[in-house]
Amino acid sequence: MPASRRHHRTLAVLVNCLGVIAAVPALPPAAPRAAAAPARPAPPPVVVAAPARPATAATPIPTGVPAVPPAVPTTGPAPVPPSMPPVSVAVGAAGTPAPGYRIEVRNAGTTPVETMVRQELPSGSRATTVTGGGRATGPVGATAGEITWRLRLPARSTTALHTALAVTGAGRSVTAPTCVYGTDGTRPYDCATATWVSAATAPAASRTATPAWRRPPVLLAAFAALLVVTGAGLWWAARRRRRAAPAHVGAPGADPATARSGGIGPGGAPVGGPTERGTVYPRPALPTPASRRRRPPVWLAVGVAAAVLAGVVGAAAWTATQRVAAMDTTKQPTSGAWVGSTVNGGLGVPLRETAFEFTVYRMSCGAGVVPAAPGGGRPCLATVGVRNVTSEQQTWHGQLQRAYLPSGNWVAADENATRVANLGRDVFAQPVAAGRRVLLPLVFTVHGTQPPKQLELRSGVFSAGVRVDVD
């Protein structure tokens, strides 16, 4: 046998031996014992109950047998979040002497829906009339009083509710936002708002801007212009009369040539001139006196200058007064507010900044709102509507949404608690589409017994944002 063939055969024997040695640990060591198992007394049939296990349960694997992935996954499908029922709410102000509202809750679905309706009452007001089984509560655990209803909305139905309020200050507008929630009272289905305006203040509110002819700067400017035009007209008329005066010597209406020849006597004979008829001796032209340039009188120049100066000073003073009156000294400085100016408002009032329009409908604090934070503190839940008013999608961040306390300190939105209140959905992870409106709860964890006094909401770090008074 050639040497190369002997080497190949030796190599093949070594490879086969190595394969056998490697396969020996994979053999089930309990196989021989399994053959002798029938000779032993049969134990209770515990193993027989194994087929009754669910298909998703993992089957025990004997020691030494290689693990094989099960055919059926051990985990079920991800839970599907519950869909929002087609429930909407509309609020309208009643034309009554006292603040009144009409609330319409509509269920457009094909199944009944259990809901909770909340109407926020502004500070300094109380409910006098409530229909539909509503219940008015005081500011216990909330920043203001409210009216609540627990309703079962039939399929494809509309329920009308009526409320009337009594306010402490007469002649002021009253805004009362209303939201419809699920049975837990934290997940909003829809929100709406309306502002009642007193009949005494309605004409003033509906009145247009002051006409231009009634504004002080315009009046002062018109008066100054009238003085200038009048003075110029008088000066021009006086100068024209001086130029119209006769500059020649002789009787009025006489011919200058006749005047130089001595005149004409009775019968047509020249008087005081040469005897030859028709002959006029030329005379040298008289020098024309140099005319002095007329200047306007001193009283006219001084009067016009004084009128113009008074108009300028009056317009400047009026403009400065209006700007000072429009300043709000209660505004707190914002961090990084480089674009736009801060807009202030109250609950239920839409406030617009550079990219978003924010509307805060409700603010409540205390236990039962959402689970308390692990680090302690009291959760405060705000129902906020966010509308993207730009033509592009916009992102926003929880750290930019702040709640200011009466002490002046502030806390950012608690993103973990906000995710829990939104059924596990991270509302800051996805941008808001152009023109879309989202309604969601925001949670702020505060320390102490005092609720937040003001919310600051903004779309970006360079936006001035809006400030909402919630106390």
pLDDT in tens, 170-197: 778 899 999 999 988 888 999 999 999 8
Cα dihedral 361→363→367→369 (10° resolution)? 20
Q: Which two tokens stand for residue 39?
A: 């000779």
Q: Which of 294, 288, 282, 176 is nearest to 237 (CA)?
A: 294
Distance CA(122)–CA(470), nearest Å, equals 9
Model pLDDT for residues 233-290, shown as the tens digit of each residue: 877 877 777 777 655 444 444 455 444 445 555 555 555 554 445 555 566 666 666 6
Chain Cα centroid distance, residue 132:
33
Q: What is the pTM of this model?
A: 0.57
Looking at per-residue confidence, does 17 or 426 come out higher? 426
Give 320-385 as a DSSP string.
HHHHHHH--TTPPP-TT--BS--EEEETT--EE-SSEEEEEEEEEESTTSSPPPTT--EEEEEEEE
Q: 450-454 contacts: CB < 8 A, separation 24 or more?
A: 450/405, 450/406, 450/407, 451/143, 451/363, 451/365, 451/380, 452/143, 452/363, 452/365, 452/380, 452/403, 452/404, 452/405, 453/404, 453/405, 453/406, 454/403, 454/404
Q: What's domain 87-203's architecture?
A: Sandwich (2.60)
Amino acid at 201: T
For 234, the enclosing helix (H) or strand (E) is helix 216-244
Q: Do 87-203 and 343-469 come out as alike in CATH topology?
A: yes
Average pLDDT, the chain: 74
pLDDT of 301 over the 60 cut: yes
How many CB atoms neighbour CB 273 within 10 A? Answer: 17
Instruction: Name the residue ranges covered by the structural domains of the chain.
Output: 87-203, 213-231+296-327, 343-469
Domain 343-469, what fold? Immunoglobulin-like (2.60.40)
Longest dimension (CA), the chain: 187
The mean pLDDT of 417-433, rounded to a whole number, is: 90
Distance CA(27)–CA(421), nearest Å, equals 55
pLDDT band (50, 70, 90) for residue 67: very low
pLDDT at 27: 52
**Collapsed DSSP state (helix, strand, coil) of residue 117:** strand
Distance CA(28)–CA(24), nearest Å, equals 9
Distance CA(458)–CA(402), nearest Å, equals 9
pLDDT at 69: 42
Distance CA(90)–CA(122), nearest Å, equals 18
Q: Which two tokens stand for residue 437?
A: 């409106």
Paired with 114 in beta bridges are: 152
